[in-house]
Structure 1
Amino acid sequence: MPPHSKKPLLLLAATLAALLPPRARSAMIVPLIPPPYDEQFSGDATYYGVTPDGDGNCAIRSPLPEMYDGMIPVALNDEQYADSYMCGACIEGEGFGEGEGRDPVEGAFKAYVTDRCPECLFGDLDFAADGDGRWDISWHFVPCEGGSDQTFLFEGSNEFYWKIQPRGGRSPVERLWINGDEAERSEDNFFILEGGPFDGEQEVHTKTVLNKRRRQSVAME
């Protein structure tokens, strides 16, 4: 598969981040600088079978945002997954029917990132669908069509601890602040902040990988 010019930058950023303490690492934007929405990637498509919504590392649980209707859930290779940085991103791609196995990937497809694939190489996608084989594909990230109604999923939260996942936006959220304090990104696609007390509505400020900012009043459900 063809080389990609940003890979040395990714490796350098990851190396520098590893030298920082955990809280400093959370504030440092390590992967995919700038977000590769203008790049075409090539790799292999494989299958790992149909799985229930929310079973992937991205924890995108039911009910799914409507913008994912008709799309294939995929696991993204570990390098581009980058500690959940691209969770929820939408993808458009094409299969060429070339490879080996019983179920070729042919023609255009649309997908969204719901999991990580540790054994996949840069550019590879693992489809959460039934099938067999390894097939040549080309693909790129795109803003999700219809995505705009950003909502939030809470997990294990209380008045002193928020673990919150933004969902439904056109591109993944890169950074998140609660009342001006930056939350720490988790590997399962949440943002965590301890402190509070978080009584009633709090101001949540998000910044996406496409540099779109939004402020919302959010209360724990």
Structure 2
Amino acid sequence: MTLIQHGFCIFGRGIGFPRAAWLCGAAVAALGALGCGTDTTGTGGNSTGGATGCEPGTELCGGASDCGADPASHAGEATYYDFADGSGNCSFDPSPGDLMIGAMNHTDYADSAACGACVQLKGPNAEILIRIVDRCPECAPGDIDLSPEAFAKIAELSAGRVPITWHYTACDVDGPIRYHWKEGSNQWWTAVQIRNHRHPIASVEYKADDGSYRSVARESYNYFVEPNGMGPGPYSLRVTDVFGQVLEDTNIEFIEAGDSPGAGQFPACAK
């Protein structure tokens, strides 16, 4: 494993009782800082990775220069939406076995930067961990629209709307990150999504024929899209999380509408 340093941070949707349909949304503001250890195990392509801190003083890092700082706290209200199934604006597949999920308010959704992030949320009756899978366009900043299953753990469903506080936290994932290739992708128009990531994703780059890495723009539906295509593959890809931690993978196979495993995972975080 090789340590690669990037000082990279990004910036960062509520009603929903039940919530209306979703649309595409804006990059994660005030993602809470975590504390980083080392865990880059996995199987797949060849990978290198490492850990650094965020830009000092940014809202993302809670004003801290490393990911060992206290997470930035948010306050708002929780509602719930009846059709929550794990899919939504983040373009993830339905996850009937995991419905501890939520839709982030438009502001904090930040053009899909919050997609796949995990949130520690405290309500009137309990504290829960959820994963962000959707955008709530009508929600106020700080609000999160929950699945009924998640809402029922913090309050009675009959309450409809309750005050909450929350912060971003590391996701409890197993194995390496996965590259999911969008249906319709090809060597001339290529769209890839990062799945199974411990921390929110800040950027994706691919190695071009000239050996340079080229940044890929992120769309509000949570795919990184190269409109001129990345070529036929296999690919060398570089993925950076919001703490500046980098994973580099080589020999990543293109599988239309399918997944290609990486070889590593972003480091775990100290409590």
Q: Is residue 150 of structure 2 the alignment partner of residue 125 of structure 1?
A: no
Kept in 2, the 8 Å contact 1:36–1:141? The answer is no
Kept in 2, the 8 Å contact 1:148–1:169? The answer is no
Q: Distance in 1 between matches of 2:82 and 2:238?
A: 36
Moved beyond 6 Å, runs of 4+: none
Q: Distance in 2 between matches of 1:93 and 1:189?
A: 23
- 1:201 is matched with which residue: 234, 254, 269? 234
The residue number in structure 1 matching 2:254 is: 220
The residue number in structure 2 matching 1:47 is: 80
The residue number in structure 1 matching 2:131 is: 112
The residue number in structure 2 matching 1:7 is: none
TM-score by length of 1: 0.74
The residue number in structure 1 matching 2:37 is: none
Q: Is residue 60 of structure 2 the alignment partner of residue 35 of structure 1?
A: yes
1:157 alignment partner, SS class: coil
Q: Deviations over 1:137-185 (max 9, x none)?
A: 1111001123551001111210111100011111121111111111111
Structure 1, unaligned runs of 5 or more: 1-9, 12-25, 97-105
| RMSD between superposed Cα atoms in Å | 2.5
Q: Distance in 1 between matches of 2:234 and 2:117?
A: 28
Q: Is residue 204 of structure 2 the alignment partner of residue 184 of structure 1?
A: no
Kept in 2, the 8 Å contact 1:76–1:117? The answer is yes
Kept in 2, the 8 Å contact 1:83–1:186? The answer is yes
The residue number in structure 2 matching 1:143 is: 170
Q: Distance in 2 between matches of 1:165 and 1:196?
A: 15
Kept in 1, the 8 Å contact 2:233–2:254? The answer is yes
1:195 alignment partner, SS class: coil
2:107 alignment partner, SS class: helix
- 1:61 is matched with which residue: 73, 89, 93? 93
Q: Is residue 108 of structure 2 the alignment partner of residue 80 of structure 1?
A: yes
Q: Distance in 1 between matches of 2:223 and 2:203?
A: 10
Kept in 2, the 8 Å contact 1:46–1:125? The answer is yes
Q: Distance in 2 between matches of 1:139 and 1:36?
A: 15
Q: Is residue 179 of structure 2 the alignment partner of residue 152 of structure 1?
A: yes
Kept in 1, the 8 Å contact 2:78–2:162? The answer is yes
2:126 alignment partner, SS class: strand
Identity of aligned residues (%): 26
Q: Deviations over 1:176-205 (max 9, x none)?
A: 111111111100011011335622311110
Once the two structures are overlaid, the 10-residue window that deviates more, 137-146 or 191-200, is: 191-200
The residue number in structure 2 matching 1:134 is: 161
Pair 206,214 (structure 1): closer, same or farther in 2 beyond 3 Å: same
- The amino acid that maps onto 1:201 is P
The residue number in structure 1 matching 2:67 is: none
Q: Distance in 2 between matches of 1:124 and 1:34?
A: 18
- Structure in which a larger fraction of residues adopt strand: 1
How many aligned residue pairs are there?
Answer: 182
Q: Distance in 1 between matches of 2:117 and 2:248?
A: 21
TM-score by length of 2: 0.61
